[in-house]
Amino acid sequence: MSDTIHIFWPGDYRPKPNELALPLLEEAHRELEKGLDRLGKKYKRVEGFMTRPHEVIEGLGQVDEPVIGLYTHWVYGPHTVDGLIGKTNPFLMISNFSGTWPGLVGLLNTGACLQAEGRAHSRLWTENPLSQDDEAMAKLETWCETGKLDYSTACIHTPGPVSGPAEALAASVHDEMVKRRPLVLMLGDTSMGMTNGYFGARTLHKVGFAEHKVDQAWIMDYGKRVSDKRIDDALAFVKDKGVTFHYGGPEAEDFTENATREQLRDYLVVLDMVDEFKADCVGWQYQLGLIHQRPPSDFAEGLLNSTCRPESNGDTIADATEADQGNVLPMEMMKRLLKAKGLHQSVAFHDVRWGLEHQGRFLWVLLNSGSAGAYAFNHDPDTLQGVHSYRQPAQYFPTPGGTFAGISKGGAITWARAWLDDGVPVMDVGSGEVVELPDQEAQDVLDATTPQWPLMMADMGLSRDSLMAHYMSNHVAVCYGDILDEMIALSQKLGFRVRVLKDA
């Protein structure tokens, strides 16, 4: 490779997260410099945080030499991709592996954004200071010498034949989808630069779906027409069904019942729009366009993913937060398969946030701000018991509003994720188990991450390194029950290339 390596800092659009992450990022940069010095490599830093697309275009657009990006907190995909797309210079992403500072989440999102457009990249991660991690240093040396890193692909499997009953059930669901193409109601566009999660109408049509886009401003307009009576009834419903609200207190002084009422207003607006457009499922952007105008969408989105909800028709409305079509497609497919198999239809949306060893197995910390339905917390489709609503952290959500949180119960699971491989739609599928931790251990995990958010401790059948090397998103769709064969068959019928991810 060329002599000089260019190092840059991708960032968040919002100043506060970058400010909070700066000490850790500066330390990671020093560690990288130590490692490169030990390897005898020349390097220079691209000045500034990349917090807008134009900054990375101007900072990296003219760089043809090797590039390293440091990921120590949540970052937006375009703050990397837009400066590297159309170029072939070697690119390495280095992240920490931490629940508190989720650089791994930013790496997974950015890697998927790059892969969606066929831009080659390499990944490296460590829980330790880089220069003190012999394994990570060996990988860094390999990249410096060759311009790429390769990882074992033993966890990636081409699906074999599925069972006869699974094939028949998938065929019946597929027939329904062909008769009436599922319609995704898109409230806004891609959220926070997660371009890997936006497929667009042409790709959706190829895999049997359609979309209808509605500007998020409609939420505020339609909200004026929601009566106080409907909001009163919805609030009484969620209280009666068991939601625990944590109003007031430190860092939540502005979180009051009125905030919940406004969240229920937005929930009812979405119900009205789903009915107007006869949509089957929802992708809801919320961030960043509404964060100063409306309360967080999380409480409403948790309700949509629950059968027990105000004005329910007895079904969930599969909802993918952050307008992520890579999740809403498998969520809708899984919902239909679950119903056809006689299982509960709720599918949870989660972040792949972190992971840790527990009693000899690796558990992934699945933790998203609020798109997990109540069924995960109670396994009772008729209640909201186990749901807690805390104020969303103010540094990210300035307008007060609550989460839809709880601790997921144990049980067998199927998980899935749709993504684009240089424009080709792919469905990753796997199976595993949710593991219930003792109360204190679960609280320790929450305290090390974001305690206001719903928690699922999942054995996904993948080690830390297998997922970090090959997974193409920071999001995952998860349901209780075994529908792995059915999901493989339905995905293939719809035109996805399918990968089964599982370690030996």
Percent helix, strand and coil across the chain, each to the nearest 5: 40, 25, 40
Gap between the Cα atoms of 54 and 58, Å rounded = 6
> Higher confidence at residue 193 or residue 422?
422
Give me the residue label for tokens 């905030």: 259
Give residue 193's pLDDT band: very low, low, confident or very high (50, 70, 90). confident
8 Å CB contact between 211 and 253: no
Give residue 194's pLDDT band: very low, low, confident or very high (50, 70, 90). confident
Mean pLDDT of all residues in 368-380: 94
Contacts (Cβ under 8 Å, ≥6 apart) of 213: 186, 188, 189
The pLDDT value given to residue 414: 98
The pLDDT value given to residue 396: 87
Is the pLDDT reported for residue 7 higher than 90?
A: yes
Q: How many residues does the chain have?
A: 504
Instruction: List C-alpha distances in Å: 166 to 163, 317, 338, 431.
Output: 5, 24, 12, 15
pTM here? 0.97
Express as a percent the part of the chain with pLDDT over 90.
94
By the 10 Å C-beta count (0-12 exposed, 13-18 middle, 19+ buried), 33 is classed as middle
Is the pLDDT reported for residue 305 higher than 90?
A: yes
The pLDDT value given to residue 191: 86
Give residue 192's pLDDT band: very low, low, confident or very high (50, 70, 90). confident
Mean pLDDT of all residues in 22-26: 94
- For helices 228-240 and 257-277, angle between their N-to-C axes, nearest 10 degrees: 110
Is the pLDDT reported for residue 504 higher than 90?
A: no
State the chain's mean pLDDT as an integer: 96
> Higher confidence at residue 247 or residue 49?
247
Query: Which ranges in the chain are annotated with CATH 3.40.50.10940?
Result: 4-146
Is the pLDDT reported for residue 47 higher than 70?
A: yes
pLDDT digit string, tens, across residues 232-261: 999 999 999 999 999 999 999 999 999 999
Contacts (Cβ under 8 Å, ≥6 apart) of 227: none
Query: Which ranges in the chain are annotated with CATH 3.20.14.10?
Result: 164-501
pLDDT digit string, tens, across residues 69-94: 999 999 999 999 999 999 999 999 99
DSSP 144: H
The pLDDT value given to residue 370: 76
The pLDDT value given to residue 122: 98
Query: Which architecture, in CATH terms, is 164-501?
Result: Alpha-Beta Barrel (3.20)
Give residue 288's pLDDT band: very low, low, confident or very high (50, 70, 90). confident
Mean pLDDT of all residues in 316-324: 96
Domain range 4-146, its CATH number among 3.40.50.10940, 3.40.50.150, 2.40.290.10, 3.30.1300.10: 3.40.50.10940
The pLDDT value given to residue 1: 59
The closest alpha carbon to 332, from 181, 455, 446, 229, belongs to: 181
Express as a percent the part of the chain with pLDDT over 70.
100
The pLDDT value given to residue 345: 98
Is the pLDDT reported for residue 283 higher than 90?
A: yes
Mean pLDDT of all residues in 429-440: 98
pLDDT digit string, tens, across residues 108-146: 999 999 999 999 999 999 999 999 999 999 999 999 999
> Higher confidence at residue 189 or residue 422?
422
pLDDT digit string, tens, across residues 462-502: 999 999 999 999 999 999 999 999 999 999 999 999 999 99
Mean pLDDT of all residues in 364-371: 91
